[in-house]
Chains A and B, each alone.
Chain A
């Protein structure tokens, strides 16, 4: 069964600090991995999309890494801001069509 596990479930950090969120998956065959940011009560916003051949992708202060051999991804947030407080969701798709498997997300709270 395809699964996506995210850790930690929740995280509290101080403004200005860095943090790293983890995503492990068992989806096979692998097509792509996405990270989304979701503010409470709003629709997810795409941060990065990575394929098998990519191991790093950045979007401003967000950097995603992918190790397709170990089936792990991480999302690193640099110099956190209060607006980074949100849920971060990892999504993995396999095969030739779009059938995604979602992680349950990491809830990040950034304190001043």
Chain B
């Protein structure tokens, strides 16, 4: 158990819908990362937050948005869902968000878009 929690574990929805994935980092960690893992693309980095501020942005679509709240939990919002958005979404956390820090991954949210 990494100490990172993600809810829900599974999510089934329809195309065009909007969903929110939630992540609670390890106690004391200030930085949160979001990743997408699909069969055809592998793991991809989406976005990083540090203490509520966006720090780095990867291959995140405009239909996706994220934020980190004052209590340090983070949410990833996916809208206008398409079949290709079906994937495992991981959240990870680290203490200060430094480029050499170990990241601890949560168990993931499995999203299925029908």
Contact = CB atoms under 8 A, between A and B. Distances in A.
Interface residues of B, number: 24
A46 B92 CA distance: 11
A45 B100 contact: no
B102 A43 contact: no
Contact of A104 (B42, B92, B105): B42
A100 to B, nearest CB: 5
A60 interface: no
**Is chain B's interface secondary structure helix, strand, loop, or mixed overall?**
strand
Contact of A98 (B97, B102, B107): B97
A59 to B, nearest CB: 11
Nearest to B110: A41
B19 interface: no
A46 B93 CA distance: 12
B67 interface: no
Interface of B: 2, 4, 33, 42-45, 48, 55-56, 58, 88, 90, 92, 97, 99-100, 102-108
Given A46-B102, A102-B43, A103-B42, 15 more contacts: A42-B107, A43-B2, A43-B4, A44-B43, A44-B90, A44-B105, A45-B2, A46-B103, A46-B104, A49-B102, A51-B100, A98-B33, A98-B97, A99-B45, A104-B42
